[in-house]
A and B are shown apart, each in its own frame.
Chain A
Amino acid sequence: MLDLFETASQDALANAAQNPVRTLETSAGAGEAVARD
């Protein structure tokens, strides 16, 4: 079952590369880092 995803993964990787998280920052309230899209 696992490699049923092989071809789909190539499309997903290409899409992900074109839509990056831009920055990493720390939110003031929760004390955890969040991304600024």
Chain B
Amino acid sequence: MQIANANPKSFGEQQQRIMTSLAGMQVAQGASNMAPSSGQAVIDQAMAQANGGSILQQQVALAAKQHFEANAKELKDTPGYSAAKRGWISAPPSPLNLSDPQALATGMQQRDQMAHAIATHKDLRETQWAKTLPIADLKDPEVREAVSDAVNAAYASLSARSNDMSGAFKKDRYDEAVKMVTGGVLSFRGSKIIAPWYGATDGNLSAAINSLTPADMAGAVTGDGTPFPATMLRPTLGGMFSSGRYRLETLGNGKYLVFSGDDTARRYVQKQGGGAFVLDLGAKKSGASAASMEFAGGPPAGALLSKQAIWSGGDRQAQDKTAPLPLDDGMVR
């Protein structure tokens, strides 16, 4: 699959980019605690687009990232105003009155409360993000930041939809935002992976693993050349992924590395002839998703743009690092 070939530049594509960027802006504005009456429309739009295609998802995430950066700057430059707007405190602190000891004490107390509220909100989100997708399972800092920002934007919009301006952290809501942005984070033998396709469930993952054929694993070997069979990834006793040495590490697009070892010394299954073996579970969608209608209408296969193509708004000069991945070289179909 060549991403560029799958996405010829066209007027329709550019138009779509503009429209979805605008939608992403609205999602990000939701992160700034827009009026509750507007939150419903925004989150509905975001969710509809998230279900509509991967291009839309990416562009919404991009716009959310850009506007979240603006919001972060606002929080830094005008913390009192920004924290109050987000509902973390009831009102911005009053200006300090140095001539009145009582007023001065009150003003200092307000600032202390403001600092505490900002720190608490930030810490809770960062802690939950680290639990949701540990660094060992998603290492790239740029990707982590982009996904986390998009999740934060979705979280804030969900809060607005719920008319919740309390600023209190809600784990269930955070999990929903993660699912909305990533399409799902699943556990596989203790590792966290991004779902092989948007909305894939644990059951879908099990079905995809169980449907792996020798052809899917063709070329997978250990370092000494021993073939690596699909049975190594299938459920062991009890039919659960509770045991077994081999785990998966997310590459994206439904593709994974297969590794063993602990998180500080992961060792990977290789591809005969050189390079790491890439397991394509995304290719198992048609069979494995038949039992699940939870996220009907996920992103269309092949409708993908590169990260830089999106982040640069289509400016090819900014894509020096985006030569198509040699993923197909790592797979034997």
Report if A and B associate in a common complex: yes
Rounded to whole Å, the gap between the CB of A21 and the closest CB of chain B is: 5
Option from A1, A7, A30, A33 in Cβ contact (under 8 Å) with B322: A7
A-chain residues with CB within 8 Å of residue B306 when the two chains form the complex: 3, 6
Binds A, one of B54-62, B84-92, B108-116: B54-62
CA distance A9 to B267 in the complex (A): 16
Q: Judge whether B143 and A20 touch: CB under 8 Å.
A: no
A-chain residues with CB within 8 Å of residue B71 when the two chains form the complex: none
Rounded to whole Å, the gap between the CB of A13 and the closest CB of chain B is: 5
B-chain residues with CB within 8 Å of residue A17 when the two chains form the complex: 268, 270, 274-276
CA distance A35 to B251 in the complex (A): 22
B-chain residues with CB within 8 Å of residue A19 when the two chains form the complex: 265-268
Q: Judge whether B140 and A35 touch: CB under 8 Å.
A: no
B-chain residues with CB within 8 Å of residue A9 when the two chains form the complex: 251-252, 255, 325, 327
Rounded to whole Å, the gap between the CB of B13 and the closest CB of chain A is: 14
Q: Judge whether A35 and B245 touch: CB under 8 Å.
A: yes
Q: Judge whether B253 and A2 touch: CB under 8 Å.
A: yes
Q: Judge whether A22 and B243 touch: CB under 8 Å.
A: no
Q: Judge whether A3 and B150 touch: CB under 8 Å.
A: no
B308: Cβ under 8 A from any A Cβ = yes
B280: Cβ under 8 A from any A Cβ = no
CA distance A33 to B147 in the complex (A): 35
Rounded to whole Å, the gap between the CB of B248 and the closest CB of chain A is: 12
CA distance A8 to B276 in the complex (A): 15
Q: Judge whether B142 and A8 touch: CB under 8 Å.
A: yes
A-chain residues with CB within 8 Å of residue B255 when the two chains form the complex: 9
Q: Judge whether B222 and A23 touch: CB under 8 Å.
A: yes
Rounded to whole Å, the gap between the CB of A5 and the closest CB of chain B is: 3
Q: List 8 additional A-B contacts (Cβ < 8 Å) besides A17-B276, A19-B266, A20-B270.
A: A3-B58, A11-B140, A12-B140, A17-B275, A22-B267, A23-B223, A24-B224, A35-B245
B residues sitting closer than 8 Å to A (CB atoms) are 3, 54, 57-58, 61, 139-140, 142-143, 146-147, 150, 181-183, 194, 198, 222-224, 226, 228-229, 231-232, 236-237, 243-246, 249-255, 257, 259-261, 265-270, 274-276, 278, 299, 304-308, 310, 321-322, 325-327, 330
| Sampled A-B contacts (14; CB under 8 Å) | A1-B150, A1-B183, A2-B57, A2-B304, A3-B305, A4-B252, A5-B251, A6-B252, A6-B306, A6-B325, A7-B308, A9-B327, A21-B270, A22-B223
